[in-house]
Amino acid sequence: LWAVVCNAGMNDGGEIFWTNTDIIQRVIDVNTFGVVRVTKAFLPQLCKSKGRVVTVTSAASLYTYGGMAPYCMSKHAAKSFCDGLRLEMYRFGVKVVTVEPWMFKMSRDRLNEAGGRGRLRSSREEPV
């Protein structure tokens, strides 16, 4: 086995105040623990082949956006998992890479259809 690509992900819910904790748990289960489970299942084979783990996180792993906190939180955690794994797997010759794309056209369109207003604001930006 030369590589594992973790690319599953979901975004459900919205603002924390209105989002049920079961939904938040489901987002974390898919986006974070899905990466952990799949990666751990194949690590022994990857160590033998000196392969690589490629995980698609998101630009949301770097910034937190209003109305997307559960998603961003799950992607932060997946990125942190990969960062730690990268350090631990170095001695085995296993590469660990994260890909952090931002929204593509279809994602923006779906947000607008769902009632998104204007561009998403990062928690690192000043409020308007």
Decide: 13 and 66 in contact? Cβ < 8 Å.
no
The answer to whether 25 touches 70, Cβ cutoff 8 Å, is no
DSSP string, 43-58: HHHHHHHT-EEEEE--
Catalytic residue at 71? Answer: yes
> Of the residues 63, 65, 71, 90, which is catalytic?
71
Rounded to an integer, what distance in angstroms lies between the CA atom of residue 14 and that of residue 23? 10
Which tokens hold the place of 44? 């022994």
Q: Which residues are catalytic?
A: 71
